[in-house]
Structure 1
């Protein structure tokens, strides 16, 4: 999924490039301010355009990492990440995550981003994709379940957001790829 792909509604999916740093920096601030469903808050993403560029460059360098971006009219509207294990024993496992601007939710973009991550994971020999989702984020849970991610347990009170403890559900999907 290092190359471009187009699909309905005029959206384009592609891997982030260093030249995207300014737009992705601005996008990240908006995305994280729209909802409390992300682990990071708006001030906890890249602190500058240069830091965003360094993050993009790091994703490009690591063979089992991908920062997949969704674009509409030359503006980022969604992103998804695969962060593969870097040690010998966890190199076939990756953490994944997805985020879409609210104005573009409900039309399958989150699913397309997840499908892009899974394609990349299969191409790079990953075997296990895992994520956490806040227990109150039923829409995301439904998406992941519909894509055959299975709940593996609950991390009780693992987050503290605006004065309230929040549980996270651990979910994972096993792929047919990886060592046998």
Structure 2
């Protein structure tokens, strides 16, 4: 079943996009969505006013990601070694990426967060940076113990020797994240 939001582009906005009032610059046919967790990150007066105006004008919609989609977001982030780098708000946005891409929407993720950009590119979604250029490569990360070389997907301490785990890129591939 297709969402009514799929009639044009669906822009998934993180806090950086809301701080820049990105939702107010979108074309009339576009829809901007975010989550309550992201809205809680917007605390300054000017950005709050922009968000409230956008909500009342229908330029921004708050969508709740259900627990099944959050679990899927954690799984996908885990495939890339990004789980430990994501906040609850970030995971809620990944859940929206999954939701709208599965519904067949043309999804554009607007964020300066490189972990979110990495996941969006991995899901073959378009990425737009707010103040930073979008990533050009998808990176899969792994945690490696500095002492014994044990490889894992998460954690600060090695379960084998207790050494410090560091995040290293494992694989890289070119990302097609442009919407043009």
Task: Identify, as 1 or 2, the structure richer in helix.
Answer: 2
Q: Tell me which structure has the larger Cα radius of gyration.
A: 2
Task: Identify, as 1 or 2, the structure richer in strand.
Answer: 1
- The structure whose RCO (Cα within 8 Å, separation 6+) is larger is 2
Judge same fold: TM > 0.5, yes or no: no
TM-score, normalised on structure 1?
Answer: 0.30
